[in-house]
Every structure is written in C-alpha cells, then in structure tokens.
Structure 1
Amino acid sequence: MHTAVCSNCGAETQVPFTPTAGRPIFCRDCYQAQKGGNRAAKPARKRDAAPAHSAPSGGARFQGAVKWFNEAKGFGFIQEDGGEDIFVHFSAIQADGYKTLAQGDRVEFDVVPGARGRQAANVVRIG
C-alpha cells in the first residue's frame, strides 16, 4: 500500500498502486461520491484543523523555502529549513483556485511518507 493525498478533499489515504503525477487520487468517500456523480459529498478539510501527519517534536510543523516548482507538471521541491529537499505535489497545497508555488516562497507543511521518500502535505504559504 502507498500513502497519498486525496485530490478532492486533501485527506491522507492508502492506495494499492504507486501514485503518479497528473493522476487524481481519491479517498474512499470521495471515490464513492464521484462514482455516484456527486463530487461534493465530503466537505474539504478546514485549514486550521490539527494536522494528522508527522511533525517535529513539540507538535510544530516544518518550514522551508520552495526550491523549484513546475506548474505544467504540478510538482516540485521544498528545501526544508535544515537542508533536506522534500517533494511537493500541487494537491498538497492548501489554497483556493489555481494551486502553484513560486521559487523562494516561504511555506509551512507537514511531512508524510511518499512512494519515493518524504513528501510535503498541507502546504501553506507564510510571511
């Protein structure tokens, strides 16, 4: 099983395949809603909800700067304060409208295990 982020509601979910860029991933509830033709059955998670992902000790979220982000492909990397590069997919960006990041943007995020290592979740621009 692989951990992924639902393209519709942003919830973490388990899928039996390796997630690929450009392919939407749905949690069980959103999949059932879409299958039935009702895409809005599960409300989007509130931004101020407590993150359900791993974070540094003390419950704080990670911070870093966007190293690069390819809008056409919908992914890029964040350089975590402290050095490590973290993969980020557009579906992890918590924003309304077109979800993208610019090089140098300061962001706060959670880290979850991905198909090829650590990846960002619940990404929010700061400052």
Structure 2
Amino acid sequence: MSNLTSVEVEAYLGRTLTKAESDNFDIWETVAELRVEGLICSTISSVKSSYGELPKDLALVISRYFGAIEADNSPENGQISSKKVEDFSITYNGTSADEILVKQNWAILAKYSSCGKVRNGKTLNHDGRFFRADSLY
C-alpha cells in the first residue's frame, strides 16, 4: 500500500519519527491508510486515480492518523483535561483519539468522501458511529 514515505510523513507531522514509528513504518502507514479509507468509504488508490496523485491535504490526514498510532498504543492514551499541582492530580477527558482526529479533519474527509457526504451535520467514522461536526467544537 504505502503511498507515503517516512520523509513525507515527517514533513506533514512537523517532527522526526520516533524509533517505534520508524521500526514499524510500513505497517503503521498501511493501518493509517485503512483508517482513512474507512472514513471516506473509498480507497486511497481510487482517490489518487481521480486526482492524478495523492492530494496533499489527504496525505496530511493519513500522516496525522499515522502519528496517532503510537499514542493509541500507550497506556495513557487519553487527553489531559486538567492537572492539579498540590496533592498531584491529572484528569483525562473522555474524548477518543478518533473523535479528535475526525474533529480536526472533518472538512478534508468530507471533501474526498464517497459515504453519501455529510448529512445533517453528521459524518460517519470507521466503526459506524456518527459524530456531529458542530458538537466536536
């Protein structure tokens, strides 16, 4: 599958890849593409054939999903919503990485979607749950 190189992913993420990302680049890049394909109800290959190449904004989304894989695999995969210094306390919010990525990228995903497009402000993510675009802000 691998439509992106490690150099391109580093450029889109704005950072160098971690050791785990470098060691697992091919499989993680494939997983990231499969996640995006599930969100747009189409294959990356068909998008490439329609546009002549992989659109840069869609490559950015794939790179963001690639970058989220390591976080998904860590035990502290939640987003911190608050911290307390005295008596030390950390609170994680209940927002999943997928919800955050859909929120950040919903316009790009909708642009390339073959899923019946956005209906009533809703987009369909890869496991069939609907997220309201306006409720994610």
What is the TM-score with the length of structure 1 in the denominator?
Answer: 0.22
Structure whose CA Rg is larger: 2
Which structure carries more strand by proportion? 1
Using structure 2 for the length normalisation, give the TM-score: 0.21
- Counting helix residues as a fraction of each chain, which structure ranks higher? 2
